[in-house]
Amino acid sequence: MSLIRQIFRPNYAQKLSLLATLPMIIACCAIAALVAYQSRAMAEQEIQILERQLLEAKKAELRNYVTQARNSFAHIYGPAAPDDDEAKRQVTQMLAAMIYGKDGFFFVYDYDGTNLVSPRQTEYINRNWQGLSDPRGVPVVDRLIDIARQGSGWHSFLWEKPSTGEEALMVTYVVGLQDWQWAVGTGVFIDDVLASVATARAEVEARIQRTFIYIGVIALTALILVFTTGMVLNIRERRLADAKLKELTQRVFDAQEEERGRVARELHDSISQLLVGVRYALETAKRRLGRGDSDKVPEPLEKGIDGLGTAITEVRRISRDLRPGVLDDLGLGPALKALTGEFAARTGIDVEFSTVVFRNRLDQDSKIALYRIAQEALMNVERHSGATRVEVDLRGHARGATLRVADNGRGLPAHPNAHNPGIGLRNMQERIERLDGTLRILSSRAPKSGVVVEASLPLSHLLPPGDTPS
């Protein structure tokens, strides 16, 4: 009972082994099925090519026989009149004498269906065979006459072999003598071709069986290796995943702390100072009222009112930096326009913003990601680039959507720390990768070459018309 309970309740190590071996088994089965299917398909294609080549060789041989036969009586048929019985007798005698191989012969039917020449099967001569069909129901004589009326062509049907008396598939080539209303042709039995094709198919099946054996041996060897090493590899991967998770968690905490520090600095450096100035102005007005200097009260009150207005503006700016309302209300284009306008007014840097109205719309996650990337890129321009001009371009295209931020600043350092990039660049990279997009940061060593930040999102993030516009 304990063994059964252990089998049906595997421990952690056994689960890891199952996770490692089951996909391998499924993959081997899928590979075996795919190999069998592909092998049969390719072999069938090769067999069909072989069959076509053999049939074409037979047909070329038949065409050559008929051409030679026609050339042999061309001097009789050419000058003869349609009712020249003597010429017809001479031609039938010539064709009746043209036999080759064990089963090869020429046949002649007039357009009424009467057999005129059949040297190996004389019982067919001078009998009308209109309506004759082979055992499969394929018309024989009527079809030969139709082909002869059209000039020449091929026909296949089952026919009795003169040498054995057994029915076999026959390919014929027939031409029409229109002046005499005759269908003249010859045929060849292709049972040897069919035998060659059957042999090729048998060889293919044997190759497929050998392939299955090889795949089974390889799969068994691979399963043994996976069973012996899977647990070690899985434990190692788990430890690496735990380490990466801890690193990611720490980076999230660092980003939160940096954002909190930024908001704290904004509140202390702007809002707090403005409110202190408002308080000082109000206290000044209060003291002047206490002294009875009412005519001097409006000046500090005006300063206090102006300070409160500035504080309200700063609160709105901080709120907009944390979560711009225009992004939800109007979309990404207007939000970026407002962001660049505020950036230009605050920093004095010339900003040119351009966009193309999207025929399709960006989803919510994409709007937020591109806005934050633009916000981070502009912050880097302000802090590090020394640029005097910034170009921001947003547009949709056949592959998705692209945001491009370019400045004319000093560019990136000549030897950046690749192992510890700035948290801003890292945040941009993580945001765009989470949406299966790409981020490119371009910079040359030339002076005033600047930096180009280009974020691209795939077409899957563009919604059909009628949804919330971006």
Do the Cβ atoms of 154 and 186 come closer than 8 Å?
no
Report, as an integer, the average pLDDT of 427-443: 85
Encode pLDDT of 151-203 as tens digits. Answer: 999 999 998 888 888 888 889 999 999 999 999 999 888 877 777 777 777 77
Do the Cβ atoms of 389 and 352 come closer than 8 Å?
yes
Confidence of residue 12 (pLDDT cuts 50, 70, 90): low
Do the Cβ atoms of 114 and 128 come closer than 8 Å?
yes
Averaged pLDDT of the chain: 79
Put the strands of the sheet holding 438-443 in their side by side order. Answer: 350-355, 389-397, 400-407, 451-458, 438-443
| pLDDT at residue number 238 | 73
Select the highest-mean-pLDDT range: 15-29, 64-78, 224-238, 256-270: 64-78
Q: How many CA atoms lie within 13 A of 23 on its CB side?
A: 7
More confident residue, 441 or 317: 441
As a whole number of Å, the CA-based R_g of the chain is 46
Tokens representing 204 are 């293919």
Given a cut of 70, is residue 284 above it in pLDDT?
A: yes
Given a cut of 60, is residue 5 above it in pLDDT?
A: no
Report, as an integer, the average pLDDT of 269-289: 75
Given a cut of 60, is residue 2 above it in pLDDT?
A: no
Contacts of 96 (CB under 8 A, 6+ apart): 106, 117, 119
Contacts of 152 (CB under 8 A, 6+ apart): 66, 173, 174, 175, 176
The structural domains of the chain, ordered by start, are 105-189 (3.30.450.20), 242-309 (no CATH), 324-463 (3.30.565.10)
Encode pLDDT of 120-150 as tens digits. Answer: 888 999 999 999 999 999 999 999 999 999 9
Encode pLDDT of 55-101 as tens digits. Answer: 788 888 888 988 898 898 889 988 989 889 899 999 999 999 988 88
- Which residues pair with residue 275 across a beta bridge? none
Q: Three-state SS across the chain?
A: CHHHHHHHCCCHHHHHHHHHHHHHHHHHHHHHHHHHHHHHHHHHHHHHHHHHHHHHHHHHHHHHHHHHHHHHHHHHHCCCCCCCHHHHHHHHHHHHHCEECCCEEEEEEECCCEEEECCCCHHHCCCECCCCECCCCCECHHHHHHHHHHCEEEEEEEEECCCCCCEEEEEEEEEEECCCCEEEEEEEECHHHHHHHHHHHHHHHHHHHHHHHHHHHHHHHHHHHHHHHHHHHHHHHHHHHHHHHHHHHHHHHHHHHHHHHHHHHHHHHHHHHHHHHHHHHHHHHHHHHHHCCHHHCHHHHHHHHHHHHHHHHHHHHHHHHHCCHHHHHCCHHHHHHHHHHHHHHHHCCEEEEEECCCCCEECHHHHHHHHHHHHHHHHHHHHHHCCCEEEEEEEEECCEEEEEEEECCCCCCCCCCCCCCCHHHHHHHHHHHHCCCEEEEEECCCCCCCEEEEEEEEHHHEECCCCCCC
Encode pLDDT of 340-392 as tens digits. Answer: 888 888 888 888 998 876 554 778 888 888 888 888 888 888 887 788 889 99
| pLDDT at residue number 201 | 73
